[in-house]
Each structure stands twice: as C-alpha cells, then as structure tokens.
Amino acid sequence: MCTLSIPVNIFTFSIAINCCCHSNWVDYAFSLLATTFKRGFVPDVVTYTTLIRGLLSQNKSQEARLFFANLIKFRQVQPDVVTFNTMIDGLCKTGHADMAFWLFRSMEKCDCEPNTVTYNTIIDSLCKRGLVDDAFNLHSEMMEKCILPDVWTYNRIIQVLCNLNRWEEVGLLLNQMIHDMKVSPDVHTFNILVDAYSKSGKLDDAKHIIQIMNERGVYPNIVTYNTLIHAYCSQGQMDGALAMLNTIRSKKIMPDGYTYNILVNAYCRELKLDIAMDIYRNMASDGLSPTVVTHNILLHGLCQLGGLCKNHYVDKALSLFRTIECNGLIPESDTYNIIIRGCLWSKKYDGACKLVDKMVDCGFSSDAATTSVLRHLLLSKAQDPTLVALYQKCLH
DNA sequence: GTAGGGTTAG
C-alpha cells in the first residue's frame, strides 16, 4: 500500500500489527511499530494493547510487563480496561497469577474500573488453582459493585462447585442466576450439570436434564450426548449407550471423535477388543479419523489383553503402533509407555529396547508405571542383561 | 483497528 501510495492511517498500521501478532510474528509487529513512527503516525491505546497481547501470546511476559510499565512511565497512552484485561489474562496464562491479581487491584488507582471480563478472567484463574472460595467472594464483590456476572461467571463457579460435590451451593447459585440476575443457563450450564449427575452415578437425573433443556429451548448438542453416552458406558450399559447413538443420529446430530473414543474405551475396558477394533475402523464412515488418544486407548486395551493371555494381541498392538506415524500422527509419551509396557508384559524385551531408544530420541522418558513393571521384572530376572540395560536406559 | 471464557474421551 505504501509503495503504491495508497493512503494509510494509524488504523491500517494497527490492523497490520494485529495481524502479525496473531501470526506469531511479534518481531515484525515491532518493526511495523517503528515504521508507524517513521511515517509520522501516533500509535494509540489499541496499537499498544495489540502489541502487549502479541508479547504475552509468545510467552514473553517479562517484555510485556516492561512495555506496559513504560507506557505508563513515559505517558505514551493511558491504558484502558482492555489493556489491563489483556495484561491480566496474559499474566495468568504465563504462570504469574499473583502479579495478575496485584494488577487487578491496582486498576482503580489508575482510574480504570474493572468490568465483567476482568472479573471473569481472575475468577477463572482462581478456579484453575482450586481457590473456589476466593472465586466465590469475587463473584459477590462484583455484584456489590454492580458489575454484573454473566453466564460465563456462573458456569465457571457452578462447574467447580459440582466437582467438589457442593450441591447445595450449586442449587442456590442456579436459583440466583435465573431468578435474581435473570441470566439464562445455556447449553454449557446444562452440560456441566449432566456431567456432574453422570459422574455421581445419577443417570436418571442426568437424563432428566435433557428434558428440562428441551422445555427451555436450549437444545442438547453432541457434548451433552457424549456425556450421557459416557455415563451409560460407566455403568456397563452398552446397550443404552448404543441406543443413545442411534437416537442422536435420528436427530441428525453426528457423532464426533469423542463419541468414538468413549465407545472404544468402554469396549477395551470390558476386554472386548474385537468390537473396539471394529468401532475404530468404522470412524471413517462418519468422516472421522482416529487421533492419538484413540490409538492410546486401543494400544492400552490390546497390551492389557495380550499381557493377560494372548501375545498375538501385543503383536496387533505393535502393528497398530506402526500405523500411527503413517497416519501423520505424532505418538505421545503415554503412547510409548503403553506399548513398552505391553512388550515387557509379553516378554518382548528386544522390542521394548528399540522402543525405549525411540522414545528417548523423541524427548520422552519412562513413566512411573513403566518403571514399576521393569523393577518387578528385575526382581525375578536380575541377571537378564537386556532387562538391566533397559532399566538403565529408563533411569536417564 | 484491541481483551476473556466454559462442557465430553485416554
């Protein structure tokens, strides 16, 4: 645009800088800032906030803090609530939650009132650190200040309270949310409740939520149904799970990768590996590809069954392992550990050795379960040189 | 032209 003499302004530069930041080209974004100055434009609070977000998204929290401090020190611009929220969120995500909280409390001194986004960001960070009661207190604080909690605020707190089985408070909050604050529960709210009931073994209550959802016009989505399918599987009710699958298909809601993983996992747990493999092969018919998680589940199942009785399941696991990379997927630490344990259980020590080398090359190491299997084997076969070598490799 | 975020699987 500059070469062609098409007129540009500070907005043009801010948009370009934002684009660089979203593409992880923060250095280029800063060189554009220099160009902005050279061309005589004055960056404003949006330009600077964009750059701060760029630094934080690249984990450069030290640089972001310095940049932010200098804005204030040299009075370049007055940071606004978006600038603060960007800093606070970035600090939380880069492991500086305490500093984020301090900044949150400094806002008013800078003549900047926190808003719902500010509170939600801090509440989320507190919930992630397990500080539910602090989150709860901030929720009361925002209401006192007439900063209205939104559906997100409620969902986050309801979710952690459900995890802690604090049902009475969940009920009170739902009541306050709907009747006092006139915030309507959305599909996420209901999914949290369906999951909470499912995990406490209350399948009937979970199913009842679906009814309430339909009455309120908040329609269940694939996540809702996956949660229910998982609940059926956990109770060993595979017929119920499959019936649910048919029900959602009739509603034109298509199963996704989660649906398949849940079912494959359920059959693996029941050691029905042939059914699990069939389901895995069926994914393509729904236009889905197995993920690393799918493979981990199957490898675990095959290795467990192989370890229990038939080695040919471990052979199947090994050939499945070889297909992972052929499918363009990258094995995880868990993937290696599962297959290595399978080899150990079925006494394929040479195979285990090669896999350990490969795992170490990929920057992974043996986990507690693998190390424990090795120790047990060594107790009975301390003189086996392959095992000793394996154990030493795993120690590193 | 700038900020946040939630639910399900190993």
Q: What is the mean pLDDT of residues A277-305?
A: 93
Q: Which pLDDT score, from 0 to 100, does residue A236 have?
A: 92
Eight-class DSSP state of A76: S
Nearest to A374 by CA among A361, A364, A384: A384
Q: pLDDT tens-digit profile of A157-206?
A: 999 999 999 999 999 999 999 999 999 999 999 999 999 999 988 999 99
Cα angle for residues A190, A196, A198 (degrees, 5° grid): 105
Grade residue A395 by pLDDT with cuts at 50, 70 and 90: confident
Confidence of residue A308 (pLDDT cuts 50, 70, 90): low
Q: Give the model's confidence band at A309: pLDDT under 50 very low, under 70 low, under 90 confident, else very high.
A: low
Average pLDDT over every residue of A332-355 = 92
Q: Of A129, A112, A113, A118, nearest to A86 (Cα)?
A: A118
Q: CA(A304)–C1'(B7) in Å?
A: 31
The reply to whether the CB atom of residue A304 sits less than 7 A from any atom in nucleic acid chain B is no
CB-strand contact A337/B, under 7 Å: no
Residue nearest to nucleotide B5 (CA to C1'): A152
Q: How confident is the model at residue A3 (pLDDT cuts 50, 70, 90)?
A: confident
- Asked if A10 contacts A43 with a C-beta cutoff of 8 angstroms, the reply is yes
SS3 A328: coil
On whether the CB atoms of residues A374 and A390 are closer than 8 A, the answer is: yes
Q: Which nucleotide is nearest to A156 (CA to C1')?
A: B6
User: What pLDDT digit, counting tens, does each position of A99-125 carry?
Assistant: 999 999 999 998 899 999 999 999 999
> How high is the pLDDT of residue A396?
67
If you write DSSP's letter for every residue of A290-308 in order, what string do you get?
--HHHHHHHHHHHHHHHHH
For residue A274, pLDDT beyond 80: yes
Q: Which residues does A24 contact at the CB level (< 8 Å), separation at least 6?
A: A57, A58
Residues 266-285 of A with CB under 7 A from strand B: none
Please tell me whether any atom of strand B lies within 7 Å of the Cβ of A147. no
- For residue A2, what pLDDT is reported? 79
Cβ-based contacts (< 7 Å) between A 338-367 and strand B: none
Question: In the prediction, which pLDDT does A305 show?
Answer: 85
Q: What is the mean pLDDT of chain A?
A: 92
Q: Is the pLDDT score of A394 beyond 90?
A: no
User: A189 beta carbon < 7 A from strand B?
Assistant: yes
Q: Is the pLDDT of residue A328 over 90?
A: no
> CA separation (Å) from A90 to A15, A28, A51?
20, 20, 12
The bases of strand B with some atom under 7 A from any protein CB are 1-10
Q: What is the pLDDT of residue A144?
A: 94
